[in-house]
Amino acid sequence: MVDFEPNNDVDMIKRSIDGFLEQEIEPLEKKHEDILTPDYRKLRDDGRLKDEVVDIIKTVRRKSGEAGYWAMHMPEDVGGGGMNIVDLVDILQHIYSKGLGLNEHLIENTPGPHPTLLEMDDSLKDEYLYPLIEGKKDGCFALTEGSSGSDALNMSTTAEKDGDEWVIDGSKMWITNSPYADFVQVFAVTDPDAGPGGVSSFLVDADNPGFTVTRVIDTIELDGMHAELDFTNCRVPDTNVIGEVGSGFYTAMEQINYGRARIAARCAGLMEFLLEECVEYANSRTSWDRPIGKRQHVRGMIADIAVWQETVENLALKTAWLIEQGENPIKVSAMAKYYATETLFQAADNAVQVFGGNGLSLDYPLERVFRYARTLRIPEGTSEMQKERIADEVGLGSGIK
């Protein structure tokens, strides 16, 4: 059975995170307010984050590493906190209930340490895994290409063996954190006839001469985080294969439920934030001498956010709990990702509406959540791909091909 009892250890960690945010992160946000908000101030003309902003983000990751939050979900034997996924979901929700600011960098998925990297060769761990766990280095996860997104297996990037090296050629698209990452985990075809078993994953240093960040992609998120990458005659030693040759795609797919639970947790937290903002605003803003929170239409918009928040929180926790039981909750995790991102978008739209003109203003924190919410319906499997999966799981069979 799923246990709804509050977990005292997790409550203690949440309180310690609150203290950390107050003492370490909020002062940074205040000090650098002029370049951190609104979002467009963070960016250079070419779409990249300004160097000072990159330094601030890396400082948050390092401080979070020192405080033990950045890798709390990684196993203890590699220096992580050994936290289970249910507790992680609860904590992620708590972090995102503060809204979107530097708190986003306290614990991140692909820029930070994630389980697929545990399979790297032991000889690489001192240089990559441990500094990553400590928050001293960060990475990125390069699977998608310009012409293969949902159908990731259709990738064109190849890696060919040449003596004791692999030579990677191709390009990748949309890769989060790649312009600033110390290394890339890149996926390439090593055997074109082997389908999913023909894809391998490699570790490439950002200063490898065969690797270039071609351009940063400007998006509505205005976060300067996503880029197009080029690999031309990019040579890496045999030891840089992560896991076995041919295991790359399977390893990536093993993390799919985990990634969806994490996204749903973020959405549940952001809806908590929106709810709190809306209640406070609706209780204080008046029209015709009455708080707008007494108006039926406004109450309805806020009540919907509350319902979506509660439902998403439960879906995220159920997905996490099933993973923890050793199950492969492919249907529930697809429902969680789909429902969480779709309702977060509706919730953000409602919140903007409750705030009236102020909801659209860069002086308020809602428009940012709105842009972020719009984005989340696409990465880590679009809403349509989740619905395809759900339809398949309820008995309609695959509609993909």
Taking each helix axis as running N to C, give the angle between helix 256-284 and helix 85-96, from 0 to 180 degrees, rounded to the nearest 10. Answer: 30
Please, which residue, 157 or 277, has the CB nearer to ligand FAD?
Answer: 157
Please, which residue, 67 or 256, has the CB nearer to ligand FAD?
Answer: 256
Please, which residue, 18 or 151, has the CB nearer to ligand FAD?
Answer: 151
Please, which residue, 43 or 175, has the CB nearer to ligand FAD?
Answer: 175
Residue choice 69, 96, 128, 141 for contact with ligand FAD (CB under 6 A): 141
Residue choice 150, 156, 239, 398 for contact with ligand FAD (CB under 6 A): 150
Q: Any contact of residue 149 with ligand FAD (CB under 6 A)?
A: yes
Number of residues that bind ligand FAD (CB under 6 A): 21
Q: Any contact of residue 183 with ligand FAD (CB under 6 A)?
A: no
Give the DSSP per-residue string, 332-397: HHHHHHHHHHHHHHHHHHHHHHHTTHHHHSTTSSHHHHHHHHHHHTSSSS-HHHHHHHHHIIIII-
Taking the C-alpha atoms of residue 350 and residue 353, their distance in angstroms, rounded to an integer, is: 5
* Residue whose Cβ sits closest to ligand FAD: 149
Interactions with ligand FAD, residue window 66-85 (CB under 6 A): none
What 3-state DSSP class applies to 152?
helix
Interactions with ligand FAD, residue window 319-378 (CB under 6 A): 375, 378
Nearest alpha carbon to residue 270 among 381, 375, 114, 156: 375
What is the closest distance, in whole angstroms, from the C-beta atom of residue 191 to ligand FAD in the complex?
20
Taking the C-alpha atoms of residue 148 and residue 150, their distance in angstroms, rounded to an integer, is: 6
Could you say which of 22, 380, 384, 388 is catalytic?
380
Q: Any contact of residue 28 with ligand FAD (CB under 6 A)?
A: no
Is 380 designated active site? yes
Taking the C-alpha atoms of residue 154 and residue 368, their distance in angstroms, rounded to an integer, is: 33
CB 175 within 8 A of CB 229: yes
Q: Any contact of residue 215 with ligand FAD (CB under 6 A)?
A: no
**Segments in 178-255 forming alpha helices (H):** 248-254
Residue choice 144, 157, 190, 257 for contact with ligand FAD (CB under 6 A): 144
CA atoms within 13 A on the CB side of 78: 24
- Residues labelled catalytic: 380
Residues forming the site for ligand FAD (CB under 6 A): 110, 140-144, 149-150, 174-176, 226, 375, 378-380, 382, 384-385, 388, 400
